[in-house]
Amino acid sequence: MNNISDALARENKLKIMRALSFFAPFSSEELDIIIQTSNWLKFSSGDIIVKEGDNGRSFFIILQGRVCIQKKLGVSTKKTLLCLNRGQCFGEAAVVTGEPRSADAVAELETYLMRIDAEDLDKEEESLQFRSVQFKFYKIFSKILAKRLILTNDLLMKESRF
């Protein structure tokens, strides 16, 4: 019975993943590797997923819901920097740099996430398929980080205008 249940769960996860453009570069075999190295989590509206300043080397892909990224301004004020939707990810900077979290990530409504830990992503593995998964994740991360840098530069330019 467990094998049938596991197979159904795997098929449901594959269906969810295939519906997201984030996973378009990955083959079916690579998606299986991702399923094996990920955790699927549920958060309620208002739940803090990651907290600014915390150590954490995992990233998250939004399977359903909405997550807002908030930065502390002073002691008690927070500013929402951006909100992310289904198919987007966050936490990639912590995976790449190993630095503490630079902002809070808060579920804006009931949200389902896939979490992948850096230890699992970065492990030494001989499998070419696993190496391909690593390469594709880091390629996606580099594009996301570059786009966010451009967005940040644009916001700074707007703020500096008189």
Q: Write the pLDDT tens digit of every residue in 58-78.
A: 999 999 999 999 998 877 888
In the chain, the amino acid numbered 106 is V
70 close to 106: Cβ distance less than 8 angstroms: yes
Show the CA angle centred on residue 31, arms to residues 28 and 36, nearest 5°. Answer: 130
**Using N-to-C axis directions, what is the helix angle for 28-36 and 2-18, rounded to 10°?**
120
How many Å separate Cα 147 from the centre of its chain?
A: 15
pLDDT value of position 48: 96
User: pTM for the whole thing?
Assistant: 0.84
Question: What CA–CA distance (Å, rounded) separates 153 from 144?
Answer: 14
The residues, any chain, with a CB within 8 Å of residue 110's CB and separated by 6 or more, are 42, 43, 44, 45, 64, 65
Which parts of the chain sit beneath pLDDT 70?
Answer: 1-8, 161-162
Q: CATH topology for 2-155?
A: Jelly Rolls (2.60.120)
How many Å separate Cα 60 from the centre of its chain?
A: 3
CB count, 10 Å around CB of 53? Answer: 11
**Domains of the chain, residue spans:** 2-155
What is the DSSP code (8-state) at residue 151? H
Per-position DSSP letters for 87-149, written without gaps between them: T-EE-HHHHHH-PPPSSEEEESSSEEEEEEEHHHHS-----HHHHHHHHHHHHHHHHHHHHHH
pLDDT value of position 7: 63
127 close to 9: Cβ distance less than 8 angstroms: no
pLDDT value of position 6: 63
pLDDT value of position 118: 86
What backbone phi and psi angles, to 5 degrees, belong to 20?
-105, 130
pLDDT value of position 8: 64
